[in-house]
Structure 1
Amino acid sequence: MKVRKTLIRTLAPLLALGLLAAACTGGDDADEPEFEPISEVSLQLQWFTQAQFAGYYAAQALGFYEDVGLDVTILEGGVDIVPASVLDSGAAEFAVSWVPRGLVPREEGANITNIAQVFQRSATLQVSFVDSGINSVADLEGRTVGNWGFGNEFELLAGLRRSGLDPDSDIQLVQQNFDMLALISGEIDAAQAMIYNEYAQVLETVNPATGELYQPSDLNIIDWNDEGTAMLQDALWADADRLDDDPAYYDAAVRFVEASLRGWIHCRDNTEECVQIVLDNVPTLGQSHQTWQMNEISALIWPSPLGAGIMDADLWAQTVEVATSEGILAAEPDEGAYRTDIAEAAVANLRDAGVDVVGDDWERIPVVLLEGGE
């Protein structure tokens, strides 16, 4: 593998000169690639079908992948599926994964790299009822605090330590299910929640004291973006070796990211249509919940000041700092852990087509949640 990489890098300038010479001669094949383009690829999701992945489903349904010459198969995720491992095994060409969940397998030897940081913000919250009096991280002292485990707890743990609390002694940390029943029943004082999912589950539940659904005014939230311990979440990952060794795969990566970002941009501007696309793919959650989720997912992406999918180096550094301080990673990842050239090329293509890749004017739409998220 190393010999092949060295050969390619050595020949790259000569290939470039050859292409320039071909262009100057005006040959009929001057603009054709030096390789057979890849047309069929698969994308491994990290969870079940829901609006969290609407941009990819939209790109597939609306022909954006087809427009760039790709036939994309979307592989649904689940509890036991590790997208980074699927990608590293060669069972998928691309994968969606939270940054820490990509970096850990990478540290263990999976040579994968982040090629597009789609989510610009963390969606993780700690949620409590207003009458609990938990208004800050410091107020968690002495409380029963839920988290899911499985690597989801590190923003919470880092936030506790930053506030001067010892997670092992100053709170009672318990593992909760992937729902909000323990919070609603009073078994725990503060629950972990994604703003696009479990937080909405509370608002889809009838408050027995009023006979109406719970309202945002009934809840307090701790947002780890505000506390400085947020970690980057959904990103697109690719095989680092193939990107270096296979020009056709690199070319497919640019085309795939471009069409995927176009899908997310379409969902930014067409919420209801993208919700219907998700519903057509038979998710387990209902229409009002998916509409809420689509709205909140867009809030994690837009605005993207550098352009959609392009990494914010400061947020990367914050994610790595939390990951190393909490022992998720033994050491800081090397510079190959993410690259911006692919997303930059994709964004440049979209800009050339007159597409808004920043989304400064995006605003949430009003969403009415129904009982059970129906």
Structure 2
Amino acid sequence: MRNRLAVVRTILLLGLLLLPLPVAASILKPVRFMLQWSHQAQFAGYYVALEKGFYREQGLDVTIVPGGPGLDASAYLNRGDVDFASLWLSTALMLPEQAQPLVNVAQIVNDSNMVLVTRREDNIESIADLANKKVSIWEGDFRAPYVAWLQSKNVTPRIFPQYYSVNLFLQRAVDACSAMDYNEVHMIFQTGIDLDELKLFSLRDYGFGFPEDGVYATAETVRQDPQRAIAFRAATLAGWRYAADHPEEALDIVMQYVEKDNVPTNRPHMKWMLANILDSVMPDQQSEWIFGVLSRQDYERTVRVLRTQGMLKHVPGYEEFIGGGLIDVP
């Protein structure tokens, strides 16, 4: 009798081992999502969505690919190496004509964080005072809003390329430098310069504060599988909501990614970045934008400014740019 029971147990065990994987796990759609820079709190909502299982709940198996120096997320997207990418609105609009048209799947950072940093002791009180001053500005796509802003005011400083640090400003080799309020401003502070010693010119105050980070895909990717785009959007926004409601837990998750890739930063700086980026992601009662949505007004304003400065030729209409009805947005 015991031998018969043992045989039955063995058969049952073998049967369990041969059962297929759970259906939910077997039908997850693979997704590669690329950031426009190295791991940092700027991208907290995506990490949270992955680590808290929000992407899996939407049927997606997501891999987050970090960007960084020499890694152009828009080029990866255009080649089909990734399915979605985080890009600035100006970047998505200013792609080469031969590039595939893009769709804004979700607008994450709706408020601009771009500033020009000066020292108060230099008495640069207005944008006009920048004439003939030494100013370092980022190269590439991040350059456009600054150049458009200066051109609109007919101000001609002596512009120098700014790469991946604010060292030229710290060494007094330039009088002003480009910066993000959530990033480089605090980096300057951490070198020992008090924030009261700085004067910041915010581009948003002059009408040049364009929406920044958004989630983009090629129009063809969205057309082939609109449900995957909708699912990625929903899970991503859930991740950002959770990060806003649980900032310390979100910070812990950010630090896991930072430390794994040995990104040269620190927890206080990532805490500053997270707090400030969330102000640009989650609207308050005074905000004129909706969480996760690129408004027609902001889109058309950005297009108008860039076109006026000769930086754009052919641009899609607003409806086409946000998915042509394939992606439901409020």
The two structures have a TM-score, normalised by structure 1, of 0.74
Say which of 187, 192, 196 aligns to 1:201: 187
Say which of 317, 336, 339 aligns to 2:323: 339
SS at match of 1:191: strand
1:278 matched to 2:258: no
Partner of 1:232: 211
The percent identity for this pair of structures is: 28
Q: CA offsets, 1:131-154, max 9 Å, x none?
A: 111222122122111112212222
Partner of 2:164: 178
Say which of 249, 261, 270 aligns to 2:237: 261
Change (3 A) 1:229 1:307: closer
1:159 matched to 2:159: no
Q: What is the CA–CA distance in structure 1 between the aligned matches of 2:245 and 2:147, rounded to whole Å?
A: 36
Change (3 A) 1:137 1:344: farther
Q: What is the CA–CA distance in structure 2 between the aligned matches of 1:316 and 1:184, rounded to whole Å?
A: 35
Once the two structures are TM-superposed, the CA of residue 331 in structure 1 deviates from its matched residue by 3.1
Q: What is the CA–CA distance in structure 2 between the aligned matches of 1:172 and 1:67, rounded to whole Å?
A: 52
- Kept after mapping to 2: 8 A contact 1:129/1:218: yes
SS at match of 2:141: coil
Q: What is the CA–CA distance in structure 2 between the aligned matches of 1:151 and 1:284, rounded to whole Å?
A: 24
Change (3 A) 1:98 1:119: same
- Kept after mapping to 2: 8 A contact 1:41/1:70: yes
Q: What is the aligned residue count?
A: 297
Say which of 298, 301, 305 aligns to 2:281: 301
Partner of 2:16: none
Unaligned runs of 5+ in 2: 1-25
Partner of 1:42: 32
SS at match of 1:160: helix
Q: What is the CA–CA distance in structure 1 between the aligned matches of 2:134 and 2:242, rounded to whole Å?
A: 42
Partner of 2:108: 118
SS at match of 1:153: helix
- Kept after mapping to 1: 8 A contact 2:35/2:66: yes
Once the two structures are TM-superposed, the CA of residue 38 in structure 1 deviates from its matched residue by 5.8
Unaligned runs of 5+ in 1: 1-35, 207-213, 348-374
SS at match of 1:84: helix
Change (3 A) 1:61 1:337: same
Q: What is the CA–CA distance in structure 2 between the aligned matches of 1:341 and 1:53, rounded to whole Å?
A: 27
Q: CA offsets, 1:307-338, max 9 Å, x none?
A: 32111112111211232233332233344233
Change (3 A) 1:324 1:45: same
SS at match of 1:113: strand
Say which of 209, 219, 226 aligns to 1:250: 226
- Kept after mapping to 2: 8 A contact 1:154/1:322: no
Once the two structures are TM-superposed, the CA of residue 278 in structure 1 deviates from its matched residue by 0.9
Q: What is the CA–CA distance in structure 1 between the aligned matches of 2:252 and 2:58, rounded to whole Å?
A: 24
- Kept after mapping to 2: 8 A contact 1:95/1:236: yes
- Kept after mapping to 2: 8 A contact 1:137/1:159: no
Once the two structures are TM-superposed, the CA of residue 106 in structure 1 deviates from its matched residue by 6.0
Q: CA offsets, 1:274-293, max 9 Å, x none?
A: 11101111243110010011
- Kept after mapping to 2: 8 A contact 1:145/1:173: yes
Change (3 A) 1:192 1:140: same
Partner of 1:372: none
Say which of 174, 178, 193 aligns to 1:188: 174
Partner of 1:287: 267
Q: What is the CA–CA distance in structure 1 between the aligned matches of 2:300 and 2:154, rounded to whole Å?
A: 22
- Kept after mapping to 2: 8 A contact 1:323/1:329: yes
Partner of 1:312: 295
Change (3 A) 1:125 1:306: closer
Once the two structures are TM-superposed, the CA of residue 343 in structure 1 deviates from its matched residue by 6.0
Partner of 2:6: none
If you compute each CA radius of gyration, which structure gives the higher value, 1 or 2? 2
User: What's the RMSD between the two structures over aligned residues?
Assistant: 2.1
Q: What is the CA–CA distance in structure 2 between the aligned matches of 1:62 and 1:97, rounded to whole Å?
A: 23
